[in-house]
Amino acid sequence: MLQALIFDVDGTLADTELVHLAAFNHAFAEVGLDWHWDVPLYTRLLEVSGGKERIRAHWTERGDMPQDIGDGNELNELIAHIHELKTAAYAQAVQDGHVQLRPGVLALLSAAADAGLRLAIATTTSPVNISHLLQRGVGSHWQRLFAVVEDAATAPRKKPHPQVYQQALQRLGLPAAHAMAFEDSANGLRAARAAGLATVVTPNAFTAHHDFTGALQVLPSLQSLTLAQLHQWNAMPSSTSSPPAIGTPPCP
């Protein structure tokens, strides 16, 4: 029986990536870097999970940036500083109302909570980003809504590694067969599937080109999705064993 729903955050609960992109570019300007990530470049960098990891990946691949600074920790400190500036810019944008929950998200969260399903978060983003987004999108009670929150602070091994989902399941005290994951990217899908979770994927403009083989369902959004459908899909023999075919759900 389905007992819990586990959600990714960025791109799944809300379309955040354009705001993250603007925040990265703001941070680069703040520290005097002449970098400017455009949408195609950022789309490619999203293949790397984690903001600090994306900065480091771009630093390395450019070829014109020093690979050793000072005693070896200076580069780490610079990347951490850039990421702090980026996080602050993102938080301000969220507070200013530039990020909204994706269609159907709030309705599904409310229906699941009312039905007694436990809700959890499994994300590679930072705790402060989660807090700002859900405070704005869900309300001050968001921490009571989610029984478990696993994030970049608690699960340092980034997706596609399954650590964040494995820890979420452990804290929920549930086997994977009694939970379902919600993702938007190939890395997220791989992480959830590696933890044994049936996974519903709702791609966005930055991830629509990804390979979602192995997803339980690939949907344009969570709008009109019902708990009855989730229970039906979870009961299918293939939901957590062999990857089923990707499809579009029947109309409720």
pLDDT digits (tens, 9 = 90+) for 186-234: 999 999 999 999 999 999 999 999 999 999 999 999 999 999 999 999 9
Mean pLDDT is highest, among 56-60, 108-112, 123-127, for 108-112
Q: pLDDT tens, 143-172?
A: 999 999 999 999 999 999 999 999 999 999
In this structure, the answer to whether residues 80 and 120 fall within a common structural domain is no
pLDDT at position 102 is: 97
**Under 8 Å CB-to-CB from 203, ≥6 apart: which residues?**
184, 185, 210, 212, 218, 220
Annotated active-site residue 34? The verdict is no
Structural domain harbouring 79:
17-95
Catalytic residue among 10, 15, 151, 184: 10
8 is catalytic: yes
Q: Which DSSP category does 45 fall into?
A: H
pLDDT at 242: 38
Cα 243 to Cα 1, 52, 193, distances in angstroms: 19, 32, 9
Q: State the CATH number of the domain containing residue 177.
A: 3.40.50.1000
What's the pLDDT tens digit per position in 72-110?
A: 688 889 999 999 999 999 999 999 999 999 999 999 999
Catalytic annotation, pick one of 8, 15, 151, 184: 8
Q: For residues 107 and 222, state if they share a domain.
A: yes
Task: Evaluate whether 147 touches 173 at the Cβ level (below 8 Å).
Answer: no
pLDDT band at 68; cut points 50, 70, 90 = low
My answer on whether 128 and 74 are in the same domain is: no
Q: What is the pLDDT of residue 237?
A: 72
Q: Is the pLDDT of residue 6 over 60?
A: yes
Q: Note the pLDDT tens digit of each residue in 128-137.
A: 999 999 999 9
Tell if the pTM clears 0.85, that is, is over it. Answer: yes
Q: Of the given ranges (75-79, 110-114, 240-244), which has the lowest mean pLDDT?
A: 240-244
Tell me what pLDDT residue 247 has: 38
The neighbouring-strand residues paired with 5 are 119, 180
Residue 114 phi/psi, 5-degree rounding, is -65, -30
Residue 149 counted as domain residue: yes
Whether 73 is in a domain gets the answer yes
Report whether the peptide linkage leading into residue 160 is cis, meaning its omega lies within 30 degrees of zero: yes
Structure-model confidence comparison of residues 246 and 136, the more confident one? 136
Question: What's the domain count of the chain?
Answer: 2
Find tokens 């702090």 and name the residue: 84
Same domain, 28 and 38: yes
Is 80 exceeded by the pLDDT of residue 14?
yes
Q: Are residues 112 and 221 both part of a single domain? A: yes
Q: From residue 43, how far is each of 10, 148, 159 by CA, in Å?
A: 13, 29, 16
What pLDDT score was predicted for residue 249? Answer: 36
| Span 99-127, average pLDDT | 96
Q: Is residue 243 part of a domain?
A: no
63 against 243, higher pLDDT: 63
Last residue of a domain, one of 70, 95, 120: 95
Q: How far apart are the first and last CA of the chain?
A: 20
pLDDT of residue 208: 96
| Banded model confidence at residue 243, pLDDT cuts 50, 70, 90 | very low
